[in-house]
C-alpha cells in the first residue's frame, strides 16, 4: 500500500499512539486528518461517542482512503463486581459504539467506490482477558468480533483489519499499571512498525487480526 497522498483519518489523535501514528503517516506523505475529543488545530474536534458529532465530522472532512479507529478509553483497575454500570457504559460508548458510529459514517463512501482501508485498534486484551480489566477487555473482544463480521459484509476492494498495537507506553497503560511503562514500546516505535505494516497491506488482508509488533 502506498501512503503518499492518501487521505487518512485517525481518531484519538491528540496523544499516545494516535499522535505518533499521525506524525509517522504525514512523514510518508499521507494527508492526515487528526481527530480528538477537543478541537485544537491541527486536530479536529469530535467526541466519537456522540453520533451527531461523528456525522458532522464526516460532512466536514468528506471521504477518506484510510480510516484508523484508534479512539479509546480505559478505567481504573477493579474487580468486575465493583465497577459501576455507568463505567461500563462509558467504555462501550467510546470503544465500541463510537467505533461503529465512525464506521457507519465513513464506510458507505468506501463501499460505493469499492476502495478503502479500515483499521480498528484492538488489543492483546481483545484476545486474552485479564482480571480487574473486564470492561476494557470486553470492549476489545467486541472490536475483534465486529471487525471480523464487517470484513465479511464489505464489498470487494475494501479491507477491514483488527490491529493489536502491543504494549505501548501511553497514559492508558499507566492507568493499568500505576505508571510503570518503562518496559513498554515507545509510541514512536509502534507508529514506525504500523507504517511498515501498512506498506505490506493488500486486499488479501481483509478480515485479518494483526499484531503491529510483528513488523
Enclosing domain of residue 162: 7-214
Using alpha carbons, select from 125, 115, 100 the residue that is nearest to residue 11: 100
In a domain, 206, yes or no: yes
pLDDT at 171: 65
What is the arithmetic mean of pLDDT over 205-212?
97
Task: Determine which helix (DSSP H) or strand (DSSP E) holds 103, and give its type and residue range.
Answer: helix 99-113
pLDDT at 185: 86
pLDDT at 166: 85
Domain count, the chain: 1
In a domain, 1, yes or no: no
How far, in Å, CA of 151 to CA of 158, rounded? 8
Longest dimension (CA), the chain: 49
CATH number for position 18: 3.40.50.720
Q: pTM for this one?
A: 0.94
Q: Which is catalytic among the residues 136, 190, 210, 212?
A: 136
How far, in Å, CA of 64 to CA of 9, rounded? 7
Here the cell at position 148 is 471480523
Give the model confidence (pLDDT) of 25-81 as tens digits: 999 999 999 999 999 999 999 999 999 999 999 999 999 999 999 999 999 999 999
pLDDT at 170: 65
Strand partners, 68: 10, 119
In a domain, 38, yes or no: yes
- Active-site annotation holds for 136: yes
Contact by Cβ (8 Å): 117, 65: yes
In a domain, 2, yes or no: no
- When the pLDDT of each residue in the chain is averaged and rounded to a whole number, the result is 94
Amino acid at each position: 500500500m502506498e501512503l503518499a497522498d492518501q487521505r487518512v483519518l485517525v481518531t484519538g489523535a491528540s496523544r499516545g499512539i494516535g499522535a505518533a501514528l499521525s506524525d509517522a503517516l504525514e512523514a510518508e506523505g499521507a494527508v492526515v486528518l487528526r481527530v480528538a475529543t477537543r478541537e485544537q488545530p491541527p486536530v479536529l474536534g469530535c467526541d466519537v461517542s456522540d453520533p451527531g458529532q461523528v456525522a458532522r465530522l464526516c460532512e466536514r472532512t468528506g471521504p477518506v482512503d484510510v480510516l484508523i479507529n484508534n479512539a479509546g478509553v480505559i478505567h481504573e483497575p477493579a474487580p468486575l463486581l465493583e465497577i459501576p454500570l455507568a463505567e461500563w457504559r462509558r467504555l462501550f460508548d467510546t470503544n465500541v459504539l463510537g467505533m461503529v458510529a465512525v464506521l457507519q459514517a465513513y464506510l458507505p463512501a468506501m463501499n460505493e467506490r469499492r476502495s478503502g482501508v479500515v483499521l480498528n485498534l484492538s488489543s492483546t486484551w481483545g484476545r486474552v482477558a485479564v482480571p480487574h480489566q473486564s470492561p476494557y477487555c470486553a470492549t476489545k473482544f467486541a472490536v475483534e468480533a465486529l471487525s471480523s463480521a464487517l470484513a465479511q459484509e464489505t464489498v470487494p476492494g475494501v479491507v477491514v483489519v483488527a490491529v493489536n498495537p502491543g504494549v505501548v507506553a501511553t497514559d492508558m497503560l499507566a492507568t493499568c499499571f500505576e505508571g510503570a511503562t518503562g518496559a513498554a514500546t515507545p509510541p514512536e516505535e509502534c507508529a514506525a512498525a504500523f507504517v511498515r505494516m501498512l506498506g505490506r497491506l493488500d486486499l488479501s488482508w481483509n478480515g485479518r487480526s494483526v499484531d503491529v509488533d510483528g513488523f
